[in-house]
A and B are shown apart, each in its own frame.
Chain A
Amino acid sequence: MNQSIDRLNDVLTTKGLKAYYLVKTLRGGTAAMVHAVDDVSITVHEGEIMGIAGESGCGKSTLAKALYGWVNPPLQIVDGSILYHTGNETIDILQVDADRLRQIWWNVVSYIPQSSMNVLNPTMRIKDQFLNVIKTHKKDYEKEEAEATIVKHIDELGLPREVTTSFPHQLSGGMRQRVVIALATVLDCNVVIADEPTTALDVIVQRGILQLLRKIQRKLNCTIVTITHDMGVHAQIADRVAVMYAGKIVELGPVQKVFGDAQNPYTRFLISSLPKVGDKSKKGSIGGKPPSLVRPPRGCRFSPRCPYVMEICRTTEPGYEEIDTDHFASCHLLG
């Protein structure tokens, strides 16, 4: 996607990113590739909240891992680049060595993994886990200074100070999630990648967490990439939304346009299938299931399930159309 946005305002760009899982089948040993992220080019602007939507197995978590530079076998980056623009420096996170990566993590980019309320070490007090992070990722580490940073950060995010002296099991799930978010942002990073930050939490805690993310974004003036299948969450906090299907971005644009004027049939389905209080009309699911990413369908990947499928959809992959400023979609219906 060619975006005519001034490069200076971009904080993160990916170009033609292909992240595949190399799976060896047991019999015969022939290698199979899972095309989890297939030719994804996105640009994230400074200071925005970018939402990535899509159902499970569409590659959104793989994209998150790749953006974080956390690429371990069987995951492989086959092609493409991921560039972070900080200050007057441009870092290709896929090309740096392990030492440099440790400095980039937490200082430039931070990651909140899925079901992150279970990532805390159960045998350490919260404060020690914070200290651990600071020690690992800051070169000029001083204990007193670090402790002051922690208290200041906890206060700023509105968490009770008692959490620092607690063990994880003494905190509720929602509180642990907030602690992990605080932990991820303690070193004032430029970009936070949050993978399903509110899944498995109830609506009230979910709202509290989203409130917290917004607050962090405003206070630290950082950029947040949130990944969730819940379109309601994107509508509430995202500035721009990218919709992923079977490893590809099918629609990308400002949140008002994606929700108000969705162009791709898959996006429209994702939004219209949500039940709502006050609406008793029957809602359905799209028939079929997401395609196998080992052998993705030819042409448009949504074509086997699309209600508006045409002959061309099954043979030719659609390109991106610019519908409006900064609003892109890929579908043959637009051509």
Chain B
Amino acid sequence: MSSTTKSWIWFAVLLTLIAGAGIYVGTNRRAEPGKSFSYSVDDYRQVDPALLRYAEADGLRPAIKKLSALAVAPDGKIYVAGENAIEIFPDRTVRPVDGTPVCIAVDDDGTVFAGLRDHIEVVSKDGKSTAWPSPGEKACLTSVAVDDRYVYAADAGSRRVWRYGKAGGAPFEIGAKDEANGVRGFYIPSPFFDLAIGTDGSLWVVNPGYHALENYSPEGRLISSWQNSSFGIQGFSGCCNPANFALMPDGSFVTAEKGLPRVKIHNLDGSLRCVVAAPDQFDNGVTGLDVAADRQGRVYVLDPARGVVRIFEEKK
């Protein structure tokens, strides 16, 4: 072998060593976190297709911004609240509100009871607004409901439900701890506290810390309750779930959850009936899902992240 060839071989070896050292230094050799350190919640985002008994129909896209609340009126019209306004479908008329309602309820005559943070604003059909006095310094209203006699407001700040007459006035208190009569009080870790009025005039209220729904008479007597805590699809988990709910025409409950966003229907005893919308049907990190149902059993879901009202119909 000639000396020139040997020199070239030396050159190639040296170059290979330098390249190897460069790759060694430049490569990250740290191990990825092992099994013990990884935690996937993907399994909890998956839903058995057999449970998904609703299909999405064409939704509503309101003109108003920062959607915050949803209600279906007795006449079937859809009321959507947002920044300083309430938009009504299908008319697409807009009623101005001084502030952004957190929750709304609609009376038979089209009067809207809008819950702002610390008080109720009554917005009549012709757009006139009247503010009711705040129920207290701690008030943080999160839900309102109206029937032919009363207006109920859920107050997460003072952990009470306030029952008003249609004309307002001093409210009657529901939900104070009364262990002798089985009322354990409302446990509200974060401001998600919903209520709805049943067809019999009784009041259904979420007790979110217990993952429970409690049924009260208008006088505040506890009639019944159910609770269903679980990380799985069959119950509710974490803080303040169900975050929102509405009653279906047959008395069952359509619920919306925060954290892991999903919309489900639970039977009267709290058992899971079916899933309306799975977590994968929502954007990551969506909050503020509100639900409502109409007399035909259609489920309306307010999706603030997409700025739409999504409509789900039972599969035929």
Answer yes or no: do A and B interact. no
Chain B interface (Cβ within 8 Å of chain A)?
none
Chain A interface (Cβ within 8 Å of chain B)?
none
